Amino acid sequence: MNLASEFANRSLEEIKELLNGGTLSVYSVARPLTADLAVDRSGLLVTFTFATPAFGPADGENESPNFVANPVSSGSVGTPGFVRACAADGKTVADFSAGPGDREIKFAEVSCSNGAPVRLVKFCFKQGDWPERPDYYGTHPRPGYPLPVGP
C-alpha cells in the first residue's frame, strides 16, 4: 500500500473508514511513483464502488471489502497493474499493487476485456513499498534511453 501523504499518519482502521462510499479504480501498468501523483500513463480498466461500511471483518490477513457490485463490467482492455483507492469526496487515499503473484489485490481474471465482468477475489493491506523493484517506477522509457538494469 502506498498512502497519499495526507493520510500517511492514519491507522489502518481510519484508512478503511475513509473508503466508505469511495472508489477502487483499476489501472493498467505504469503506475505513478507515489499516490500523490496523478495517473498519467495508465488506462482505466474498471471501477468498483465501496459500500458503507467499506470493509467487513478481516479473514486472517485478507480483508473483506464490501462493494456495491462485484463483479463489475470492464470499460476497457488491458492487464491490471495497480489500483487507486479514493474517498467518497474523490481524494486519493492509497495505491495498491494488483495482479498475479505477491500482490495486495487479485482478480479472478488475468486481464480485462471491454464489457466483460471483472471480479475482485483478494484484498489485503501490506504496509510499505511496492513488491517489485522501486527503480522501475517513476521512469519514462523513451526510444534511445536504456531500461533500468538489475543490481
Q: Is 42 within 8 Å of 53 (Cβ atoms)?
A: no
Q: Which grid coordinates are listed for 17?
A: 473508514
Confirm if 82 and 117 have CB atoms less than 8 A apart. Answer: no
pLDDT in tens, 7-43: 999 999 999 999 999 999 999 877 788 899 999 888 8
Domain ranges in the chain are: 2-125
Full-model pTM: 0.83
CA 144 to CA 124: how far, in whole Å? Answer: 39
- How do residues 62-118 score in pLDDT, each as one tens digit? 999 999 999 999 999 999 989 999 999 999 999 999 988 778 999 999 999 999 999
